[in-house]
């Protein structure tokens, strides 16, 4: 009997969907990186031979990627499999592509080597490797789509001349701010070489080398620098969890007051540990975020834990926004207490 005629039981279909979802996740990442997803977004259709010729891609691999996407109804392929058109799942997959990229391109090695991350004996030294360049690119997209609109709301009425972005990733936030406010100067701080490389490229492309500088340093142990005295706004997105566990978070937040003595605002946005979620009910991203950070031994606080730390942090909440996707996410605007 051919596969097409096979009638799978509900359990077997569920299992097949799990398997196919893993392939489709990698396919979303690949399709975005090679420009296929953007072409589908632009035109609603892509011819496999035309796309492959224009991008010097192997047509059979492009087709395989599209077939994988069709398994989750992101696209539909015609009977001849020469072209694909967007399907019901496309819009959502396009909007959330950064999460897929973060997972498969950014954390792919961690996931494929997961069995070797379990035994205590194997968890020594530098046992986790992630692709910091891919993570910066993924986070740029996630932040632009989900965090920047509420961030812009929180910025209204905030007066600032020099912004330091902690864990700046691609520096996209600094570039956006410098673009919108001609008086602003930015300092991007990140520990990862891949992030600094992505930042340098993006700052050069935006022609902002004279307004945005980069510092490769560990935010948890920041070396003092004269230029930090000018900083009146500190931002920190999608890395606040690196301040934890709790006792470190209190110390870290207090230390930021010393590192940036003239900061009038600290805007911090992050995703928290989920509460009340189990089994098949996990929303988009949550399961990946929590699994990866558990393997990395990075504690992820709940929203309540964040609130309790802020009370002791030397900062007080002046304004806030809650974010539905990624679920359990927030942005706080803090001012010195
Ligand atoms: C999830 S990404 C977010 C990037 C960026 N903030 C954004 O919103 O797109 C977290 C970034 O924080 C950086 N990071 C993590 N721990 C850090 C530390 N201790 N010091 C400096 N940067 C750190 C990572 O290298 C990465 O670029």
Q: Is the shortest distance between the CB of 236 and ligand 1 below 6 Å?
A: no
**Separation between Cα atoms, residue 24 and residue 91, nearest integer Å:** 15
The DSSP H or E segment spanning 53 is helix 48-55
Which atom, in ligand 1's list, is nearest to the CA of 147? 8
Distance CA 16, CA 221 (A): 47
Note the pLDDT tens digit of each residue in 133-172: 999 999 999 999 999 999 999 999 999 999 999 999 999 9
CA of 335 to the centre of ligand 1 (A): 22
Share of the chain above pLDDT 90, in %: 96
CA of 218 to the centre of ligand 1 (A): 10
* Structural domains of the chain, ranges and CATH numbers in brackets: 3-95 (1.10.10.10), 117-336 (3.40.50.150)
The 3-state secondary structure of 295-336 reads HCCCCCCCHHHHHHHHHCCCEEEEEEEEECCCCCEEEEEEEE
Give the number of the atom of ligand 1 that is nearest the alpha carbon of residue 172: 9
Q: pLDDT per residue over 269-319, tens digit each?
A: 999 999 999 889 999 999 999 999 999 999 999 999 999 999 899 999 999
In tens, the pLDDT along 187-206 reads 999 999 999 999 999 999 99
Q: How far is the CA of 334 from the centre of ligand 1 (A)?
A: 19
Condensed to tens digits (0 to 9), the pLDDT of residues 116-138 reads: 999 999 999 999 999 999 999 99
Q: What's the chain's Rg over C-alpha atoms? A: 22
Residue 216 has pLDDT above 70, yes or no: yes
What's the gap in Å between 116 CA and the centre of ligand 1?
A: 25
Indicate if the pLDDT at residue 2 is higher than 70.
no
Using DSSP, state whether 189 is helix, strand or coil.
strand
Cβ atoms of 151 and 267 within 8 Å: the answer is yes
Alpha carbon of 336 to ligand 1 centroid (Å): 23
Centre of ligand 1 from the C-alpha of residue 219, in Å:
9
Residue identifier of the C-alpha nearest atom 11 of ligand 1: 167
Q: How far apart are the first and last CA of the chain?
A: 71
C-alpha span between 188 and 169 (Å, rounded): 8
Q: What is the pTM of this model?
A: 0.95
pLDDT at site 203: 98
Q: Decide whether any atom of ligand 1 lies within 6 Å of the 292 Cβ.
A: no
Q: How far is residue 214's CA from residue 330's CA, in Å, rounded to a whole number?
A: 26
Question: d(Cα 46, Cα 52) in Å, to the nearest integer?
Answer: 10
Q: Residue 219: CB within 6 Å of ligand 1?
A: yes
Residue 217 confidence (pLDDT): 98
| C-beta neighbour count of 323 within 10 angstroms | 18
Which residues make Cβ contacts (< 8 Å) with residue 333, sequence separation at least 6? 154, 158, 265, 266, 267, 317, 318, 319, 320
Tell me if 132 CB under 6 Å of ligand 1: yes
Which is the closest atom of ligand 1 to the Cα of 192? 25
140 Cβ below 6 A of ligand 1: yes
Ligand 1 center–CA 197 separation, angstroms: 13
CA dihedral of 38, 40, 46, 48, whole degrees rounded to 10: 50
Q: Token match 């596969």: residue?
A: 3
3-57: pLDDT as tens digits? 556 788 999 999 999 999 999 999 999 999 999 999 999 999 999 999 999 999 9
pLDDT of residue 1: 45
């Amino acid at each position: 009997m051919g596969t097409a005629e096979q009638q799978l039981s509900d359990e077997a279909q569920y299992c097949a969907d799990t398997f196919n979802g893993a392939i489709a996740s990698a396919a979303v990442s690949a399709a975005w990186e090679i420009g296929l997803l953007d072409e589908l977004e632009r035109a609603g259709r892509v011819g496999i031979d035309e796309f492959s010729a224009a991008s010097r891609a192997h047509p059979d691999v492009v087709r395989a990627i599209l077939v994988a996407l069709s398994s989750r109804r992101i696209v539909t392929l015609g009977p001849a499999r020469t072209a694909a058109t967007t399907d019901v799942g496309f819009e959502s997959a396009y909007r959330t592509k950064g999460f897929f990229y973060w997972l498969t391109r950014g954390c792919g090695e961690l996931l494929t080597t997961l069995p070797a991350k379990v035994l205590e004996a194997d968890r020594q030294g530098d046992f986790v490797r992630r692709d910091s360049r891919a993570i910066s690119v993924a986070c740029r997209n996630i932040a632009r789509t989900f965090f920047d609109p509420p961030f812009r709301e929180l910025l209204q009425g905030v007066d600032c001349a020099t912004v330091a972005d902690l864990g700046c990733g691609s520096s996209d936030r600094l570039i956006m701010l410098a673009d919108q406010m001609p008086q602003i100067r930015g300092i991007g701080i990140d520990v990862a070489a891949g992030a600094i490389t992505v930042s340098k490229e993006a700052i050069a492309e935006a022609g902002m080398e004279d307004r945005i500088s980069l510092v490769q340093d560990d935010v948890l142990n920041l070396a003092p620098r004269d230029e930090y005295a000018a900083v009146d706004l500190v931002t920190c997105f999608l890395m606040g969890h690196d301040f934890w566990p709790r006792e470190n978070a209190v110390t870290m937040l207090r230390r930021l007051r010393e590192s940036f003595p003239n900061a009038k605002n600290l805007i911090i946005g992050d995703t928290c540990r989920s509460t009340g979620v189990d089994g098949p009910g996990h929303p988009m991203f949550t399961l990946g975020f929590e699994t990866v950070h558990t393997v990395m031994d990075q504690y992820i606080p709940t929203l309540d834990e964040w609130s309790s730390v802020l009370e002791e942090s030397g900062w007080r909440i002046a304004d806030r926004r809650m974010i539905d996707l990624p679920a359990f996410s927030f942005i706080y605007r803090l001012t010195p207490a």
